[in-house]
Amino acid sequence: MSTTTTARRRPRGSGLRGREAAAGWLFITPVLVILGLFLVLPVIMAAWVSVSDWTGRGSPFSGDVGFVGARNYRTLVAEGGLATQDFGTSIRNNAWYVVLVVPIQTAISLFLAVMVNRKVLRGRGFFRTAFYFPSVTSSVAITVLWLFLFSASGAVNKILSYLGAEGPNWFNDPRGVLHVTLSAIGIDQPAGALGAHGFLGITWWEWLAGPSFAMSALILMAIFTTSGTFMLLFIAALQNISGEVEEAALMDGTTGWQRFRYVTLPMLRPTLFTVLTLGLIGTWQVFDQIYTGTQGGPSKTTLTPAYLSYSASFNNGHWGQGAAIAFVLFALIVALTILQRFALRERNTVPRRKRFNQPPPAAGDTPPALPTSTGSQP
Amino acid sequence: MTTTSAASVAARGRSALPRPSRIRTDRSIVRRRVATSLTYAVLIAIAVVYIYPFLINVATSFKTDPDAAADPLSLVPATWSSAAYARLFLRSEFPVWFTNSVIVTICVTAGRVFLNSLAGYALARVDFRGRRVVFAGLVAVMAVPGVVLLIPKFLVINQLGIYDSYAGMIIPLLADAAGVFIMKNFFESIPRSVEEAAKIDGAGTFRTFWSIVLPMARPAVITLVILSFQGSWNELSHFIVSAQSPELMTLTKGVAQLASGALSQGNQYPLKLAAAAIMTIPVAVLFFVFQKRITNASTGAVKE
C-alpha cells in the first residue's frame, strides 16, 4: 500500500504538477478552515453541550461541567413541564406557519412567474422588479413596517374597515384563527379526547388552534417577502422550456390551461421540487421576525423552535436545552426534507405510468407495442 | 351565441364564407382584448400590493406621531416633519450602527469574493488529491440549516476569544459554500485553452487565476458581490451571537431593538420607519443598479 502510493506520488510530488497540487490546497484552505471552525466544530461542540449541564459560565469543556446523558432532551420532549409545553407550543406555531406559507408562496410565485414570463406582456421588467423588491430588503426592516401596517389602527385594519369588517389587533391577539372560526359556528369547547389528551405537553385542542392572529400577520409577511425570490427561480425554469414544445402543444389544439397543466407544469417539476424544499427548510427557521417583532408573544403564540433555542440559552442560561432544541430542529428539518423527497418522487412516477397505460385499451394490451401500432395507423 | 350561429348558418346558406370567419375573428379579438386587460388589471393590482407598503414606509417616516396614527394609509403627510431623521442622526446611536454595518459588509463582501473564487477555482480547475472529498464535504456543509448553528456558533466564537469583536463578526461570514459553487460552476464554463496558453508562458497557478481567469469571471463575481452584500447587510442572527457591546451594534440589531421598544416611549412609528427606510436604501440601490442582471433570468447570473 505505502510503496504504491509513494511510487505514484513521486512523479506528482516533483515539478509542475506537485506545485499545482500545493496551490490547489493553498487556494481552498481558507474556506475549509473557516467552514470547519464555524460550521463543523460548532456542531460537535453543541452536541456535547446538549448532553451536559453547562450553565454558560467558563468553558463547556472544563472539569466541573458534567455529562447528563439525554436529560436535556427528555426535559424537552417527555417530562411535560414548562420546558416541554414551550417546546410543544413552538413546534405547533411553526408547523402552522410551514403548512400555510410553503404551499401559498409556491403557488403565488409560480403564478407570478407565468404571468410575467409572457412575451407579449408590456412592462415585464417593471412587474418583475415590483414583485422581487420585497425579497432584497432586510427581514428587520420589513418586520418594523409590518408592525406598523398591522397595528390596531394601522393600514390593514383601515382597509378592512372600508370593506365593512373590523380587523383584530393583530400583533396583540393570541387567539388561534381556527379556534375563532370554530367558535363562530358554535364550537367553543374541545370535544372529549381532544381536550383530555395531547402531545408535547399541550392538548390536541391546542394543537388545532391554528396560527394566532399575530402569527397570521407573520405568515402574510413571509409570503410577501419570499414569493419574489422563488418567482425568479420559476422564471429561469420557464425560459429553459423551449418554445417548440409549447408550439407543438398549441398545434394539437390545447387550451391555455391544458398547456400549462400537461406541458409546462411537468417540465417545471425539478424547480417545483427545489422551491418546496427551500421553502420547507427556510420556514422551519423563523427567527429574525420573532426577535424583532414579537419575542414569542402574545401568549407564546409566535414562539418558534429557533427563537426558543436562542432565548433558552441566552436569556435563561439553559444552554443544554438550547443546544438540544437546535438538534431536534435539525433532525426535524432533515426528516421532513427526506419525507418530502419521497412523497414527491412517488407521485412523480405513478401518473406517468398511468398516462402511458391509458391509450392501450384501444390499441391492444401490450404497452410496449404502442408506439409502432400508432405509428402504422395513418 | 344563438344570433351569431344563426347568422353563420344564414351566411353559409348564401355560400359566402368570409363573413362567418370574420365574425369569429372579431369575437376572438374581443375576447383576447378582454383577457389582456384582465391580465394587466390583475398584475397592476398585485404590483400595488407589493409596492404600496414601501411607499407607506417612506411617507410615514416624514409624518408626526399623531398624524401617523390618525391616517396610516395616506402617502402625503399632513405636516411634513423630518424630526424622525433628525433624532436618528443627531440624538441616537444610529450613526454608529450604520458605520458598523458598512464596515462589516465591505469586509465580508471583499473577503467572500476573494476566498470563494479561490476555492471555486481550485475545485474547478486545479488537479489535487482529495478534491472530490472536499467537494463532497462542501455539499454536506451546505445542508446544515443556519439557525440551528446559532447557539453552537456562539460557543466556538466565545471559545476562540473573538467574541464581541469585529473579527468574530466578520470571519465566520467570510466563507460560504453556495458562493464557492457559483464560482466553481462559472470557472468550469471557461475554456481550458485560455489557461494553458498562460501556463506555457510560465505563469504560476495564482498568477493564472488572478490576472487571467478571474477577470473573465466578471459576471459570476458580480453575482457573488450582490449576494454577499445583501446577505451581510441584512444579517441579524450572527451579530446577535457574536457581539454584545453597543459600539459593535449593527443596523439590523439596533433597529430590531428599536422595534421592540428598547429606546422609546409610545409607538414612535415615524422614527422606527425612518430607520427601516434608511437601512433599506443601500440594498435598494444595489438592486436597482444590477436590476437587469438580477431579475433577468437568474440562470444567466450563474452561467453566462
Residue-by-residue DSSP string for A135-187: HHS-HHHHHHHHHHHTSTTSHHHHHHHHTT-----GGG---BHHHHHHHHTT-
Contacts of A23 in chain B (CB under 8 A): 122, 126, 128, 204-206
pLDDT level of residue B192 (50, 70, 90 thresholds) = confident
Kindly state whether residue B75 falls inside one of the protein's structural domains: no
* Contact criterion met (CB below 8 Å) for A170 and A214: yes
Share of chain A above pLDDT 90, in %: 29
Residue whose cell numbers read 402504422: A376
Residues B239-270: tens digit of each pLDDT: 999 999 999 999 999 999 888 775 555 678 89
- Report the residue from B155, B160, B299 with minimal CB separation from A60: B155
pLDDT at A376: 31
Shared domain check, B271 and B161: yes
Record: contact B47-A126, CB cut-off 8 A: yes
Give the gyration radius of chain A's Cα atoms.
27
pLDDT at A234: 92
- Sorted by where each begins, the domain ranges of chain A are 80-176+211-350
Q: What pTM, to 2 d.p., does this model score?
A: 0.83
- How far, in Å, CA of A259 to CA of A246, rounded? 7
Kindly state whether residue B52 falls inside one of the protein's structural domains: yes
Read off the pLDDT of each residue in B85-92 and give the average, rounded to a whole number: 90
Structural domain tally of chain B? Answer: 2
B225 versus B31: the higher-pLDDT residue is B225
**Does the structure show a pLDDT above 80 at A243?**
no
Kindly state whether residue B281 falls inside one of the protein's structural domains: yes
Count chain A–chain B contacts defined by CB atoms under 8 A.
285
pLDDT level of residue A65 (50, 70, 90 thresholds) = confident
CA distance B299 to chain A (A): 6
Angle between helices A269-283 and A213-240 (to 10 degrees): 150
Which of B61, B78, B103 finishes a domain?
Answer: B61
- Report the residue from B128, B174, B294 with minimal CB separation from A21: B128
Quote the cell numbers at residue B117.
473564487
Q: Using DSSP, state whether A268 is helix, strand or coil.
A: coil
Which of B275, B270, B241 has the alpha carbon at shortest distance from B257?
A: B275
- How far, in Å, CA of A169 to CA of A278, rounded? 32
pLDDT at B265: 57
User: Residue B235's domain is classified under what CATH number?
Assistant: 1.10.3720.10
Residues B36-46: tens digit of each pLDDT: 888 899 999 99
**Does the structure show a pLDDT above 80 at B62?**
yes
Shared domain check, B139 and B13: no
Kindly state whether residue B13 falls inside one of the protein's structural domains: yes
pLDDT level of residue B168 (50, 70, 90 thresholds) = very high
Kindly state whether B15 is in contact with chain A, defined as any CB-CB distance less than 8 angstroms: no
How many angstroms separate the most distant Cα atoms in chain A? 86
In a mutational test of the B interface, the residue from A28, A48, A132, A232 whose CB has the highest number of chain B CBs within 10 Å is: A28
Contacts of B230 in chain A (CB under 8 A): 136
Shared domain check, B223 and B112: yes
Read off the pLDDT of each residue in A316-335 and give the average, rounded to a whole number: 89
Interface of A with B in 279-338 (CB under 8 A): 281, 284-285, 287-288, 291-293, 295, 306, 309-310, 313-314, 319, 322-323, 326-327, 329-330, 333-334
Nearest CA in chain B to A323: B151
Phi, psi dihedrals of residue A235, rounded to the nearest 5°: -60, -45
Question: Domain A80-176+211-350 has what CATH class?
Answer: mainly alpha
Shared domain check, B9 and B153: no
Read off the pLDDT of each residue in B104-125 and give the average, rounded to a whole number: 93
Please report the DSSP string for A311-360 in residue order: IIIIIT--HHHHHHHHHHHHHHHHHHHHHHHHHHHHHHHHHHHHHHHSSH
Kindly state whether residue B44 falls inside one of the protein's structural domains: yes
CA distances, A358 to each of A258, A347, A351, A361, A362 (Å): 17, 17, 10, 7, 9
Which of A341, A140, A110 has the alpha carbon at shortest distance from A229?
A: A110
Read off the pLDDT of each residue in B291-300 and give the average, rounded to a whole number: 59
- How far, in Å, CA of A268 to CA of A259, rounded? 13
Shared domain check, B244 and B191: yes
**Does the structure show a pLDDT above 80 at A45?**
yes
- Report the residue from B43, B46, B237 with minimal CB separation from A288: B237
Record: contact A140-B209, CB cut-off 8 A: no
Phi, psi dihedrals of residue A121, rounded to the nearest 5°: -65, 130
Contacts of A59 in chain B (CB under 8 A): 159
Which range of residues forms the domain containing residue B25? Answer: 2-61
Contacts of A37 in chain B (CB under 8 A): 156, 160, 172
Residues B267-277: tens digit of each pLDDT: 788 999 999 99
Kindly state whether residue B73 falls inside one of the protein's structural domains: no
Range name among A21-25, A246-250, A354-358, B220-224 with the lowest pLDDT average:
A354-358
CA distance A378 to chain B (A): 30
Give the contacts of A87 (CB within 8 A, at least 6 positions apart): A76, A77, A200, A201, A305, A308, A325, A328
- ipTM of the complex as predicted: 0.83
**Mean pLDDT taken over chain B:** 83
Shared domain check, B258 and B178: yes
Residues A341-364: tens digit of each pLDDT: 888 775 544 444 444 444 444 333
pLDDT at B19: 52
CA distance B86 to chain A (A): 19
- How far, in Å, CA of A255 to CA of A2, rounded? 68
Shared domain check, B150 and B268: yes
* ∠ CA A175-A331-A225, rounded to 5°: 50
Phi, psi dihedrals of residue A117, rounded to the nearest 5°: -85, -5
Shared domain check, B274 and B172: yes
pLDDT at A112: 93
Record: contact A129-B126, CB cut-off 8 A: no
Kindly state whether residue B76 falls inside one of the protein's structural domains: no
Nearest CA in chain A to B232: A138
Phi, psi dihedrals of residue A209, rounded to the nearest 5°: -65, -25
Read off the pLDDT of each residue in B9-21 and give the average, rounded to a whole number: 46
Kindly state whether A59 is in contact with chain B, defined as any CB-CB distance less than 8 angstroms: yes
pLDDT at A325: 92
Helix segments in B71-176, DSSP class H? 83-90, 94-124, 131-142, 150-159, 166-170
B299 alpha carbon, distance to own chain's centre: 15
Kindly state whether residue B41 falls inside one of the protein's structural domains: yes
